Amino acid sequence: MMGDLAVLQDVLVYWPEIARGLASTLMLSVIITLTGLIAGIAVFYLTLSSSDVCRRAVQGYISIFIGTPLIVFLFLLYYGLPQWGIKLTPLTVAVLGFTLNVAAYNARYMTTAYNGLDPSEIEAAKAQGFTSRQIFHLMTLPQVLRLSIPALTNQAIQNLKDTSLVFLIQYAEFFAQMQEVALRTFRFFDVYLLTGLVYFILVSVLTNLARRAEMFADLPPASRHNR
């Protein structure tokens, strides 16, 4: 526990920086959750391709990003690319690195959900005369997204927590600012405890929203006719 309220006074001196850091964290979380979702849908779409080469390439991409720590990829982009004359800003690296990583996970969740769909619905849609693209956006995607909501919202929560990694590539997000405050006040324990508390509150709010989204998206249960 914080020994006394003096820590809050010490920390509040730096509140403009902390607030900016918090805003950066939230902005980055929102961006990568959205770009990761959109890119994940695109990757998932490609996993259904009729081209064997395309499917293998996409599976390779997913395996590489799920099988590699995100920090390695962030360092490759931020510290490795300048060796080849390519210098990206910390925000660009963060968005690019996270998007590619999160998209791979999201695509995997969607594939799992897709495997649980009734294939006869797809056959019925083909028999009605729908194109593959129409079947994807009218039948497959809505059901896959609905079934993936728990996994996708857990990923969004994970994204929020993982953004703390980007302080290692000089991005001034919340954790980086709190690190700065700790260094200035020498109240390492108190400041990191406070940092954890803020993340916990943010994650709790997000978890609550996620559970509401799950309930909202839930289909009516089977009637007694089908039991």
Partner 1 sequence: MALLEVRHLKKTFGDRAVLDGISFDLEEGGIKAIMGPSGCGKSTLLRCINRLIEPTSGSILFRGQEVTGRDTDVRALRQMIGFVFQNYALYRHLCVLDNVTVGPRKLKRMSRREAEGKALHELQRLNVADLRHSFPSQLSGGQKQRVAIARALAMDPAVLFFDEPTSALDPVMAREVAAVINQLHSENVTVLCVTHDFELARSVADRIIFLRDGRIRAEDTADNLRNHYDDHEIRTFFGPGAAPV
Residues that bind partner 1 (CB under 8 A): 118, 120-121, 123-131, 134, 138-139, 142-143, 146, 219-223, 225-226
Alpha-carbon distance 49 to 44, whole Å?
Answer: 9
Closest to partner 1 by CB, 121 vs 208, is 121
CB of 220 to partner 1, least distance (A): 5
Closest contact distance (angstroms) between CB of 42 and partner 1 is 21
Nearest to 108 by CA among 70, 61, 160: 61
**CA torsion, ordered 36, 97, 167, 157, to nearest 10 deg:** 20
> What is the sign of the dihedral through the CA atoms of 118, 119, 125 and 128?
negative
Nearer to partner 1, 56 or 137 (CB): 137
What is the spatial distance between Cα 144 and Cα 65, in angstroms, rounded to a whole number? 21
Question: Considering the complex, what minimum distance in angstroms separates the CB of residue 226 from partner 1?
Answer: 7
Token pair of 165, please?
């990694």
**Closest CB 149 distance from partner 1, rounded Å:** 13
Question: Measured from the CB atom, is 81 or 123 closer to partner 1?
Answer: 123
